[in-house]
Structure 1
Amino acid sequence: MTETALTVHQTARPHGFPGTEHFAFAESALPDPATGGALVENLYWSVDPYHREMLDDVPGGFALGAPLEGRTIGRVIASRTSSLAEGEILFHRQGWRTHAVVTPEEVRRLPRFDGVPLTAYLSILGGTGLTAYVGLTRIARLKEGEDLFVSAAAGGVGTATGRFAKLLGAGRLVGSAGSAAKADYLLREVGYDAVFDYHDGPAADLLGKVAPNGIDVFVDNVGGEQLAAAVGALREFGRVVRVGTVSQYNTPDAVPPRFNHADIVEKSIRMEGFLVRNYHDVQEELYEFAVPHLRSGRLAPDETVVDGFEHIVDAFLGMLRGENTGKIIVRDRTQALPHQGGPHD
């Protein structure tokens, strides 16, 4: 166990793409938990696209000069409550720091499934996977045989959406990605039927080539030009699942492309966005659906793992630049991996 703690603070508001100059590492003595709390040494950290929005001066955004927050998994190393035993592995939201003081109300105990790595609880079984699962089952209400288009298909939500859609009986699955290498990965590993590199031309033309007969569902992680293209390609009773708007996070002055609003009416299209935090009641259903497939090998988590908490800012910025494939996770390089078994073995 280290003698000091590190936290990441935001030091300034970015206008456009953030850089390392907008963050600072702060070192302090290990926090001492008060009665009723516990000290957790964090092992794995999630950096997510929504963090970019919270860097701005928005309601609920990150405060300047204060530790940032995020999903993380850690081990209890000192406890002053009978509810949290030393050695327990917990999920909580005090990320972007090496150590955190938590109370029982602020944590979630993770079910332990034989053969399922801890990182899966931040990727395919975590908020990323839950977003994909809710988008398909609750928002799109996907029917067997329906054709999908997924933007940012090589990201965390995009890869999970592709894998879940295939298991749910989807028809043709097409996606967009930022490079030929990512497109190849999606075709070879994830199960996409066709993928285009969005750099190669107008999105409407590229989508028309890979989905000449249209689509039933669009899972939108990007917004902008690809959203406009998808509305044009949707069939009657098509659905748009709005997950994120990555194309606009770092270009606040950009004018969003227009789409034909008459299509919404004439094709009876439904467009709906959601926040995964409003669907925590679906978490157990996700476990029931995904874990058997993980154990059988029909489902695999797509992860880019970065070693070392000191690289968390670089990992976040790399994610915004699209350098990851699947969910990006930062791992504490000094920690031995905990035993993966447990009460659900």
Structure 2
Amino acid sequence: MLVLGVESSCDETGLALYDTQRGLLSHALHSQVAMHEEYGGVVPELASRDHIRRAIPLLEQVLGKGGVEGSAIDAIAYTQGPGLAGALLVGASVACGLGLALDKPVLGVHHLEGHLLSPLLATDPPAFPFVALLISGGHTQLMRVDGVGRYALLGETLDDAAGEAFDKSAKLLGLGYPGGPAISRLAEFGDPGVYQLPRPMLHSKDLNFSFSGLKTAVLTLVHNQIANICEQDKANVARAFVDAIVEVLVAKCLAALKQTGLKRLVIAGGVGANRQLRAALNEAASRRGFKVYYPELEFCTDNGAMIAFAGAMRLQIDPQAAQRDYGFNVRPRWPLDELTAGAG
């Protein structure tokens, strides 16, 4: 089965071809980071318009790289939600328009399910069941995953997601957009222990998170405690921030593994590319005897490959999940735990 995946939930346009026999054939991605950098964050209207410009050239690129004609596609999967409504509508309309033109069935896919399953595209994929930490710009959740569509929410953020805390704290330090990679790079030059920041909900005895207070602590530190902040002070604050957020994430992951009794941990989403987090989790895994899995770095951010793959997995469970009903809707808000094994 050959599935075309279309991703357009926020500020990346991604298309990919996944074959259930041959694996990932091709993928192409356009990031809008340079366009949004001027505004310090994603501008939804600009994002939607850029998706319109990029989708068809990227389609031609993945078909060419995959060495297939459009007629060879068996089904088209697209991100139905969650995400920015206008951006989602672009991907949905492209997918359904292609489905109508090629007489191929289409399937709406949950964006976070794509992230959740993306480590299965790696050369050493995890087996079910496993604990998954979903950490992206807008989501921080711990899930128990027993199979495709078999998800149980263990804990989630009560306010800001980890990615939001990274971006907002980076902005306070004047690092621009996107802030996550920038503050992580700066932290490598910081001295540990110079500044102390809180570890929110570290000892809460549950698996929930809270990061808005950490962001506020950075604001207070920068504005009230450091006069004429220099570059080394910025690096020291960045180090304190990254150390705090990594300690909380690692502690909650360890607690989730203990609670479930599982020995496999999957990290998915954009923040999963963070080097400090990976180093801390790898060290914990070697000490405590569990195994941690990550998506390939190119699949940590939003991408079409994860949508094509998730669509293919859905269709293997239920071949009738894709339909030739080309009237579409999108779901900007769509809890992952609403999914079941047989339905999207």
User: Which is richer in strand?
Assistant: 1
User: Which is richer in helix?
Assistant: 2
TM-score under structure 2 normalisation?
A: 0.35
Greater RCO between the two (CA within 8 Å, min separation 6)?
A: 2
TM-score under structure 1 normalisation?
A: 0.35
